[in-house]
Amino acid sequence: MIFPKSFELLIQSFRKLPGVGQKSATRYALHLLRDQTNFEELILNLQQAKTQIQSCTVCHNISESELCQICINPNRNPAQICVVEDLKDLIAIESTNNFHGTYHILGGLISPIDRIGPDNLNFQTLVNRLTKIEQSELIMALSPSIEADTTIYYVAKLVQPYNTKLTMISRGISFGYELDFVDEVTLTKSIANRTPYNFENE
């Protein structure tokens, strides 16, 4: 069927959203045509999000003001900085409700193949933060990969002049995983990095 051009363009726009195929995109467009209130509301909320959401000048989290709600929260420890690749990872850690420090979003990982070097990432603002903190801890919370290892190595070199403790989230076998389905690298490392059993942790 030949759709009107503006309807076709709308479907194409929806198709660019992650995981949305032709069928879902058409359903979304049809739904909006049927429900004009929703249609107007979606346009309005997209426009507002576009104009109001900015990047926190300290940690690069999304925010509607200069500082994000995590950075201005007096209950969060500004000396404990969890370094993440992107907002998605920050949201994942926040949803555990168990981390009470602050974050620093790098905006990617060092990846020479993709031509992403240190200059393309938020390292300068990280160093700026460290200069203002007497004693800090940087927790590198990056999804395990070659690029993550490169980035962690770079950060380790970068923060040497500062009084900061560099840690990494532990790697190993995830809860609920079957040992025989785990890749060899992870399995080898999880044996090499074995931890003593501790009644208190269980």
Phi, psi (5° rounding) for residue 151?
-65, -40
Binding status of residue 154 toward its own copies by CB under 8 A: no
Interaction residues for its own copies, span 73-92 (CB under 8 A): 86-88, 90-91
- The answer to whether 147 and 111 have CB atoms below 8 angstroms apart is yes
Q: Which is nearer to its own copies, 20 or 79 (CB)?
A: 20
The rounded distance, in Å, linking the Cα atoms of 142 and 156 is: 14
Q: Which of 132, 122, 130 is nearest to 57 (CA)?
A: 122
β-pair partners for 81: 102, 138
Tokens (6 digits) for 189:
């490392």
Span from 35-43, 135-143, 152-160, 181-189 in contact with its own copies (CB under 8 A): 35-43
Binding status of residue 33 toward its own copies by CB under 8 A: yes
Binding status of residue 53 toward its own copies by CB under 8 A: yes
Write down the least CB distance from residue 33 to its own copies, Å: 6
Binding status of residue 26 toward its own copies by CB under 8 A: yes
The rounded distance, in Å, linking the Cα atoms of 61 and 93 is: 13
Q: Which is nearer to its own copies, 95 or 201 (CB)?
A: 95
Count CA atoms closer than 13 A to 134's CA, side-chain side: 0
Which member of 21, 38, 150, 187 binds its own copies (CB under 8 A)? 38
The rounded distance, in Å, linking the Cα atoms of 155 and 149 is: 10
Which member of 48, 77, 167, 193 binds its own copies (CB under 8 A)? 48
Residues in contact with its own copies by CB under 8 A are 1-7, 9-10, 12-14, 16-20, 24, 26-35, 38-43, 45-50, 52-53, 62-64, 68-69, 86-88, 90-91, 94-95
